[in-house]
Chain A
Amino acid sequence: MKISKKAALAAITAATFITQFALAPPVLAGADQPPVARWTVQVAQVGAANDVNVEPAFRIAIYENLLQELVKRKQFSAVLRSGDRDADGVPSLLMLKTVVEAYTPGSETKRAITTVAGATKLRVRSQLCTRDGQVVLERFVEGNVRLFGGNLRATHILARNVANAIEQSPLPDPAPSVRKP
């Protein structure tokens, strides 16, 4: 019994030492590096391609859901609304432009009755642009509701997909002048 207790104590001590020595160097290395500056994003109002007639409720729902999703991800230092005057003083600002390229209005009742018909489909072109208009990222993203949920759920799915696409894409570093010391 005494031996097993000693063995357990030795194992715990060894594990503690190993953990400390294994983890300490990267943590210390991270502490030496200056914190990386992050972009601030401003979400522009959602537009529509010339031949696309999107209901205002859908445009607004895409815009608001995009804001919610981007805030949730914490990828950007701040998420600003279109027209927000705080954006004027931000040097590392990206503008998220969204244009609806295709829209198929669906029907919740048709979906409930037929299962295969009545899907709501949205397809947008999302662009992240710098202040000088340079496009740093462009994605074509879809958001569809095929079975359960209301038609506006398509906008939530779409916003999630846009936020995913941005999160998974490498963004250029903000200008060196905006890096924190």
Chain B
Amino acid sequence: MPVACLSVSLMAQDRDQTKTAASNSALQATAVLGFEGISNNATGDLSIQGDALVFQPKEGKAARIPVGSIQNAFLSQTDKQTGGTPMAVTRAAIPFGGGRVIGAFAHKKYDFLTFEYLDSNGGFHGAICQLNQGQGQVFGKELEAKGVHFSVAREATPTKSGPEAKNEDK
């Protein structure tokens, strides 16, 4: 009886560990652009499965990028308004500057992971996905462990305009 109890508890522990590992590797993400066969701004799960980076949208086929083909991965952070278009319309409709007050609070910081990779024909691709704050660093480190060059993008600074010539033919 004690042996049976022990084996049951061990099996339960194994199941728990498997579950934890799976939930750690798959992150909720938004495919902003660049994933083959996935529409822009589709939401789904981003994970590393074996030797491939996989984005599984909520509906439809997953996009797979072989980790070996990824040349660079960059992490950047951006502040975004929450609520999407409905919220933007609502903010615009509120009179007496009420929408601006809401705008001051309805924002959230997101991590953006940018991948540069090559397809089987040598063609250069780029893909961007949006993750919750803090998850980008974790995922980037996982990629780095697999041999991908990972770096945190520098904060961009404004630049002066270039030459004033516009629409000139050659």
> Which residues on A are within 8 Å of B, measured CB to CB?
45, 49, 51-61, 63-65, 80-86, 101-105, 107-109, 112-115, 123, 125, 135-140, 148, 150-152, 165, 169
- For residue B19, CB closer than 8 A to chain A, the reply is no
Chain B residues 51 to 106 lying within 8 A of chain A, measured CB to CB, are 72, 74, 76, 78-81, 88, 91, 99-100, 103-104, 106
In the assembled complex, 16 residue pairs joining A and B whose CB atoms fall closer than 8 Å, in A order, are: A49-B162, A56-B114, A56-B153, A57-B74, A57-B76, A61-B126, A64-B34, A83-B122, A102-B162, A104-B158, A104-B159, A108-B107, A112-B106, A113-B103, A114-B100, A140-B162
Report B155 CB to chain A, min CB distance, Å. Answer: 8
Q: How far is the CA of A84 from the CA of B123 in the complex (A)?
A: 4
Contacts of B126 in A (CB 8 A): 59-61, 63-64
A123 to B159, CA, bound (A): 10
Which chain A positions have C-beta within 8 A of B76? 55-57
Q: Which of A86, A102, A125, A169 contacts B160 (CB 8 A)?
A: A102
The answer to whether A138 and B170 have CB atoms under 8 Å apart is yes
Residue B163, interface by CB 8 Å: yes
- Given that A123-B161, A140-B165 are known contacts, is A109 also in contact with B81, CB under 8 Å in the complex? yes
A125 interface neighbour in B119, B123, B162, Cβ under 8 Å: B162
Interface string of B145-164 (1 = CB under 8 A from A): 00000000111111111110
B159 close to A61 (CB less than 8 A): no
| Residues of chain A with a CB closer than 8 A to B119's CB | 81
Chain B interface size, under 10 / 10 to 19 / 20 to 34 / 35 or more: 35 or more
A-B interface, 6 closest residue pairs, ranked by CB to CB distance from nearest:
A112-B103, A60-B126, A101-B162, A81-B123, A84-B123, A56-B74
Q: Do B107 and A139 have beta carbons less than 8 Å apart? A: no
Interface of A is mostly: mixed
Q: Is there an interface contact between A108 and B81, defined as CB atoms closer than 8 Å?
A: yes
Check A57–B112 contact: CB distance below 8 A: yes
Closest to A68 in B: B33
| Contact among A60, A80, A123, A169 for B162, CB-based, below 8 A | A123
A-contacting residues, B26-48, CB 8 Å = 32-34
A51-B159 in contact given A81-B125, A84-B123 (Cβ < 8 Å): yes
- Taking the closest CB of chain A, its distance from the CB of B166, in whole angstroms, is 5
B127 at the binding interface (Cβ < 8 Å): yes
In the bound complex, how far is the Cα of B159 from the Cα of A52, in angstroms?
A: 6
Identify B123's interface contact among A83, A112, A152, CB under 8 A. A83
Is the pair A109, B107 in contact by a Cβ cutoff of 8 Å? yes
Q: Report yes or no: B125 in contact with A135, Cβ–Cβ below 8 A.
A: no
